[in-house]
Amino acid sequence: MTERELKVFAINFINKKEKENENCVRYSYYELKVKYNLTEQEIGEVLKISKNYFENKSYRVYFVGDEYEYNNSRMKVESNEYMVAIRKEGL
């Protein structure tokens, strides 16, 4: 995938995931690695683009091993997920 194609993919993926659930966005290993067959380098770029996007929209962004709180529950980004973005309360 070219750099331009990857950026277009990332933006489309962000929009799709945000429409699914605007309060809690999850990127799974299955989606990026298996379904879309992205390389580790491509996944890294998608995660970088996504992190910047969600942080600019007042989300907290977490990666594998990070702990976070959502719906009054303490959770952890598991190894089958690449990223979780949680919308900050009150926004």
The per-residue pLDDT for range 26-69, each reduced to its tens digit, is: 999 999 999 999 999 999 999 999 999 999 999 999 999 999 99
In terms of phi and psi (left: phi > 0; alpha: psi -120 to 50; beta: otherwise), the region of 65 is left
Is pTM beyond 0.85? Reply is yes
- Secondary structure (3-state) at 66: coil
Q: Alpha-carbon distance 55 to 49, whole Å?
A: 10
Tokens of 61: 């962004």
